[in-house]
Chain A
Amino acid sequence: MSTMTLAGSPVEVDGEGFLQDPAQWSPEIAAEIAAQNGIADLGERHWQVIDYMRKTYLGTGAAPSMRTLGKASGVPIKELYQLFPKGPAKLAAKIAGIPKPRGCI
C-alpha cells in the first residue's frame, strides 16, 4: 500500500495501482488511470461500465464478475473486451477506483 497523486489528489493504492478507498475517486482520476492503461478517451460506453462497477461495489462490497458484467451492465462481454482490452473486469475496476477484484483459485 502506498500513496500516489492522481489528477492532483493524493490517493491510497495497492501494489498494482488499485485505489483502496473508493471515496478518494473522481472522474478526473478515472481518466488519468485510463490514460496510463492505454485508453486515451473514456466514452459513454466506458462510463456505463464504470458506473455499474461502482454502484455494484458500493452496494454489495464486491466487484462484479466478468459474467455478471456481461449480463447486467448493459454492455456485452465482447464489447467489454474492446473497451477494456485484456482483462475487462480488472481494468474497469481499476478505473472505477475500487479494490482489485478478488481472484478465484
Chain B
Amino acid sequence: MPPARAGPTMGGAMAHRIVILGGGTGGSLTANRLRKEYGAAAEIVVVDRDDEHIYQPGLLFVPFGLAEPQALVRPRSKQLRAGIDFRIADVDRVEAGTSTVHLSDGSTLPYDVLVVATGAVLQPEETDGMTGPGWCDRVFTFYTLDGATALRDALRRFDSGRLVVNFVDLPIKCPVAPLEFCFLADWYLRKRGIRDRVDLRFVTPLDAAFTKPAAAAHLAGLLEQKGIAIETEFATGEVDGAGGRLVSWDEREVPFDLLVTVPLHGGAGFIGRSPGLGDDLGFVPTDPATLQSAVAPNVFVLGDAANVPTSKAGSVAHFEGETLVRNVRRFLAGKPLEATFDGHSNCFIETGFGKALLIDFNYDQEPLPGRFPEPHLGPLPLLRESRRNHIGKLMFEWIYWHVLLPGRAMPGISAQMRRRPAAVVTPTKRGATA
C-alpha cells in the first residue's frame, strides 16, 4: 500500500499525489492519461527544468533544410491537460526511502507515486577532445536543436572532402538515426551535384550496421548501394577536431573534414545524486514487463530513463505508457501489477529520395519483413523501402502533438507487438502461403 500522507482531499477521500519528473514524450503522455483516468481524484505534478518541448524526430531533418528548427519546439505546459500542475524546477535528488523529491531551490515534493521520465542526456565532454577545438566548427551533433542548426549551415558550405558520421557507444536515443543521417546526406549531396566529390563514411562501435542481425544485413545492403563506406568495431577514444582525426582506443584513425557525431548518453544528473535510484550510467533499473523501478515499489519509470533492454525511442515510451498507467492505478488501488510490456518498438528509417523503411520489434522478436500494423494488409511494408513509409514518418509529427502526447488511442496500433504469421517469419519464400 502507498504510504499515508497529508494532502488534498476529495469528498473526504485522500487524493493521490503523483509526481512526474520530465515533461517530454513519456512524462507528458503519462500525465495526460492519468489525468483523464483520475480526473480530480489525483493531484498530478509534472516537473521539468524548462518549458520547451522539442519534437526530437524532427532534428534529423534540420541539417538538410527539411525542417525549420523553431517549428519543432512547443511549450511543454501547453501539451498538458487542464488540471495538471506543471512546474519549472531543477531536481536535486529523489529520496525513495521517504518518497520525497528534493528540488534544487531547497523545496520538497512528497509523492504517493513517482514517475521518472527524465530521458537521456548527451555527454560530449566524456569523450576526449570532442568539445575541444573544432567543436561546432567541423565537429557537430544533430542531437540538439542548436547542433542541428549549426550543422545545417556547415553542410551548406561543405562542397568536397571526407564526411564522417559516427556514434561513440550505445545506448543512444534512436539508434537508427546515425544511419538515417548517412542516407539523407547521400541524397542531399547528390541533389547538390557534389556526391562524387565526397567520401561519405559511417563509423560504428558495433560489428555490423545495426544491433539486430536481420535489419543489419538489410541496412548494410543499402549503405553499399549508396556508396557509403562503413568502419565497424571502432571504439572512439578521442576526437581531434583541429587535426581532423577520429582515434579509437586501439589506435586506429579515421580522418575527416566534417564529423557528425552522436556523443555518449547517460541518465539525468539528479539520478546519480539519488540514493539507490540509478545504475552506473544514470539510467534507472526497471522491471522490463511492469515498469516498476528496483529502488522502491512506488517509483515507476518509462522512456529513455529506464534501463530496459529495448530502443530508446519515442515509440517505446508511447507503448510503455499503457502498461505504466495501468500499473500506477493498480498500485494505488493495492492490486498486483500486470507484466504486460513486451519491449515493443517501431521506427521509420528515412533512406532518402522520399522513401523510408519501417521496422517493428520487441524484446524477443527481431525486426523482419511483413506489413504493419495489420500482418497482411499493412498498409505499411516492413523492412522495405517505400514512399508510403516516408509519408508515414512525415505524418507522424502531427500524430505526435495531437494524438500521442494527449494520450489518445491510436486506432489499429496496439501497445503489444502483433505476432507475425508463420509465412513471413519462416525463411520460406515470402507469399508462398499468403
B311 within 8 A of A: yes
Given contacts A65-B281, A77-B249, contact A105 B171 (CB under 8 A): yes
B359 within 8 A of A: no
Q: How far is A90 from B255 in the complex, measured between Cα atoms in Å?
A: 28
Q: Is the CB of A67 within 8 A of B281?
A: yes
Most B CB contacts (10 A, CB to CB) among A60, A62, A78 go to A78
Interface mask (A65-98 → B, CB under 8 Å = 1, otherwise 0): 1111000000001101100011000000000000
Given contacts A105-B175, A105-B309, contact A81 B249 (CB under 8 A): yes
Q: How far is A67 from B171 in the complex, measured between Cα atoms in Å?
A: 12
A interface size (C-beta, 8 A):
17
User: Which residues of B, 232-287, contact A by the 8 Å Cβ criterion?
Assistant: 233, 235, 237, 249-250, 264, 279-281, 285
- Which residue from B126, B169, B170, B249 sits with its C-beta under 8 Å from A105? B170
Chain B nearest Cβ from A59, distance in angstroms: 12
- What is the chain A residue whose CB lies nearest that of B294? A61
Q: How far is A81 from B251 in the complex, measured between Cα atoms in Å?
A: 10
Chain B nearest Cβ from A41, distance in angstroms: 20
- Which residue from A67, A78, A80, A102 sits with its C-beta under 8 Å from B264? A67
A99 within 8 A of B: no
Q: Is the CB of B309 within 8 A of A102?
A: yes
Given contacts A67-B280, A102-B309, contact A86 B170 (CB under 8 A): no
Q: B211 contacts which chain A residues (CB < 8 A)?
A: 103, 105
Q: A60 contacts which chain B residues (CB < 8 A)?
A: 279
Q: How far is A96 from B397 in the complex, measured between Cα atoms in Å?
A: 47
Q: A78 contacts which chain B residues (CB < 8 A)?
A: 237, 249
Chain B nearest Cβ from A55, distance in angstroms: 13
Q: Is the CB of B311 within 8 A of A105?
A: yes
Q: How far is A68 from B235 in the complex, measured between Cα atoms in Å?
A: 15
Q: A104 contacts which chain B residues (CB < 8 A)?
A: 169-171, 309
Q: Is the CB of A86 within 8 A of B233?
A: yes
Chain A nearest Cβ from B347, distance in angstroms: 12
- What is the chain B residue whose CB lies nearest that of A88? B249
Q: How far is A62 from B281 in the complex, measured between Cα atoms in Å?
A: 12
- What is the chain B residue whose CB lies nearest that of A62? B279
- Which residue from A65, A81, A85 sits with its C-beta under 8 Å from B280? A65
Q: How far is A80 from B171 in the complex, measured between Cα atoms in Å?
A: 20
B310 within 8 A of A: yes
Q: How far is A80 from B250 in the complex, measured between Cα atoms in Å?
A: 10
12 more CB-based (< 8 A) A-B contacts, given A64-B280, A66-B169:
A62-B279, A62-B285, A65-B281, A67-B281, A68-B280, A68-B281, A77-B249, A81-B235, A85-B250, A86-B250, A102-B309, A104-B171
Name 6 A/B residue pairs within 8 A (Cβ), A-sorted.
A62-B280, A65-B280, A66-B235, A68-B281, A77-B249, A81-B249
